[in-house]
Amino acid sequence: MESQLALTGKDYTLIVSDTNAAMSIIRMKDDEDKMKQLGEHLVMAYNGEAGDTIQFAEYVERNLRLHSLRHDIELQPKASASWIRRQLADSLRSRKPYAVNLLLGGWDVPKGTPELYWIDYLGTLAHVPYACHGYAAFFATSTFDRYHRPDMSLEEGLELMKRATNEVEKRLIVNPGGWKARIITQDGVREVIL
Amino acid sequence: MSIMEYNGGSVVAMRGKKCVAIAGDLRLGNRNMSLAANFEKVFPITQKLFVGLPGLASDVLTLRDTFRFRTNMYKLKEGREIEPNTFAHLVSSTLYERRWSPYFVEPVVAGLDPNNGEPFIAATDLIGCLNFAKDFVVSGTASDKMFGMAESLWEPDLEAEDLFETISQTLLNGVDRDALSGWGAVVHVITPEKMITRSLKSRMD
């Protein structure tokens, strides 16, 4: 019952994940951080098959880090998304594919724009203003469709995200546990309380 | 539901008089849920050649990259741009390479022959069986609907502007009857002098 949500506003990307770690029907943990910071201006939220998620997230993290050490520059969100997509697309046709879905939120430093990419385990990549993974998609996308504007201030963005997570809490039969939220701006990544 | 209908999307191409047109919708979905309305499926190969790739979105992106790589290598080796007919065979062999675990994409090729300016269109199935057509080709989840539209609207020797109108009406009325396609469209018309690209608004439901 995993849920990831994200949206872009005027000068930020807001990315939110639930904090459940479940094993079958049992909640093992309710403060699991299902996001990884991949760079100064890049955050990835992941869900999917339990072992695959962390394995793949760390694989991505280390490779992007290696790239930045070798070239003395970090990949921009678009390039990172493209590389990650290719890894998943190649993995899909391997003997044991990764079953991992991702939301990649970042800030494009040269362009000065907030970026959000929706990636699934098939290697589908979509550049979107707002997106959800997991069960949240069924409840929150319509809320985003109705209320999202690309020029939203941070306060408005947080308010909309709150609306969306409330909807998930209200209608999903399983309690999402808690939420962890991160904001990516030109100054970098910071955690916020939703 | 087959994997070909997982993400949805449709492409159509038509021949005119010394011109050719190719158009595709913009929807990206996950079965019945729409995700994005900015997912282009028609990509330029050269100034006078386009390829449309409706099918599984992951393979659409993979094949776009593959074709970009292979046509760039062709250009470096041959010192000239690839011709439509050659490119159609490149598409065919690229797909047949993966005969037993195919890319789930049914490409459409449209372009003008740089030697004589003749319009060229072709479509293949997911394992690269080529279909050269004199009139029009359709592909994607709304292909059956667009066949009907194209069959009644298309006529030989259409001029560029008339061809644009014909292909636009064919695509829009086709995808409006299909739940998995639509959400906007892009049309490219290639003439010997110029290339016209226009975005179409359509029903968002």
Say whether B202 sits in a helix, a strand or coil: coil
Report pLDDT for A176. Answer: 81
Under 8 Å between Cβ of B52 and B139: yes
Instruction: Judge contact between A9 and A114, C-beta under 8 A.
Output: yes
Question: Hey, what amino acid is at A113?
Answer: T
Interface list for chain A against chain B, based on CB atoms closer than 8 Å: 85-86, 88-89, 92-93, 118, 120, 122-128, 131, 137-138, 141
CB nearest to A89's CB, from B33, B35, B58: B58
Cβ contacts (< 8 Å) between B65 and chain A: which residues?
A: 86
Q: Among partner residues A123, A131, A137, which is closest to B58 by beta-carbon distance?
A: A123
3-class secondary-structure state, position B145:
helix
Give me chain A's average pLDDT, please. Answer: 96
Chain A residue numbers touching B62 (CB-CB < 8 A): 86, 89, 123
8 Å CB contact of B28 and A124: yes
- B67 to chain A, closest Cα gap in Å: 15
Residue B24 is predicted with a pLDDT of 98
Count other Cβ atoms within 10 Å, centred on residue B146: 29
pTM, whole model, 2 decimals? 0.95
Domains of chain A: 4-192 (3.60.20.10)
Q: What's the CA gap between A96 and A89, in Å, rounded?
A: 12
Tell me if B174 is assigned to some domain: yes
The whole-angstrom separation of Cα B46 and Cα B57 is: 22
Please tell me the distance from the alpha carbon of residue A176 to that of residue A20, in angstroms, as a whole number.
7
Picking from B35, B63, B104 by the largest number of A CB atoms within 10 A of its own CB, the best residue to mutate is B35
Task: Give A55→chain B minimum CA distance, Å.
Answer: 21
Kindly state whether residue B205 falls inside one of the protein's structural domains.
no
pLDDT tens digit string along A140-169?
999 999 999 999 999 999 999 999 999 999
- Give chain B's count of helices (H) and strands (E): 4, 12
Report the residue of chain A nearest B101, measured CA to CA.
A93
Per-residue pLDDT for A1 more than 80? no
**pLDDT tens digits along B96-108:** 999 999 999 999 9
Whether residues A126 and B28 touch (CB distance < 8 A) is answered with yes
Read out DSSP for A31-94? ----EEEEETTEEEEEEESHHHHHHHHHHHHHHHHHHHHHHSSPPPHHHHHHHHHHHHHHHHTS
Q: Is B61 within 8 Å of A128 when comparing Cβ atoms?
A: no
Predicted confidence at residue B1, as pLDDT, reads: 81
Residue B48 lies in a domain: yes
Residue B60 covered by a domain: yes
Q: What confidence score (pLDDT) does residue A177 get?
A: 83
The reply to whether residue B61 touches residue A127, judged by beta carbons under 8 angstroms, is no
Tokens of A87: 């890894």
List the structure tokens of B46. Answer: 């050269």
The reply to whether B122 falls in a domain is yes
Phi, psi (degrees; rounded to nearest 5) at A46: -130, 150
For B:27-86, CB contacts with A below 8 A are 28, 30, 33, 35-36, 38-39, 56-59, 61-62, 65
Counted domains in chain B? 1
Kindly report, residue by residue over B5-64, the tens digit of the pLDDT: 999 999 999 999 999 999 999 999 999 999 999 999 999 999 999 999 999 999 999 999
Is residue A87 within 8 A of residue A164, CB to CB? The reply is: no
Structural domain including B161 reads 3-200
Where does residue B62 fall: left (phi above 0), alpha (psi -120 to 50 degrees), or beta otherwise? Answer: alpha
Closest approach of B94 to chain A, Cα-based (Å): 16
pLDDT, one tens digit per residue, over A27-84 is 999 999 999 999 999 999 999 999 999 999 999 999 999 999 999 999 999 999 999 9
Q: Chain B closest CA to A135's CA: distance in Å?
A: 12
pLDDT digits (tens, 9 = 90+) for A113-137: 999 999 999 999 999 999 999 999 9
CA distance B25 to B180: 10
Identify the CATH number of the domain in which residue B44 sits: 3.60.20.10
Q: How far apart are CA B183 and CA B27, in angstroms?
A: 5
Q: Whole-angstrom Cα distance, residue A68 to residue A62?
A: 10
Q: Which residues of B touch A131 (CB under 8 A)?
A: 35
In angstroms, the separation between the Cα of residue A125 and the nearest Cα of chain B is 7
Best residue of B61, B100, B101 to probe chain A, by most A CBs closer than 10 Å: B61
Closest CB to A128 among B36, B58, B59: B36
Q: Which of B38, B57, B65 sits opposite A124 (nearest CB)?
A: B57
The pLDDT of residue A174: 85
- List the single residue in B with minimal CA-CA distance to A141: B35
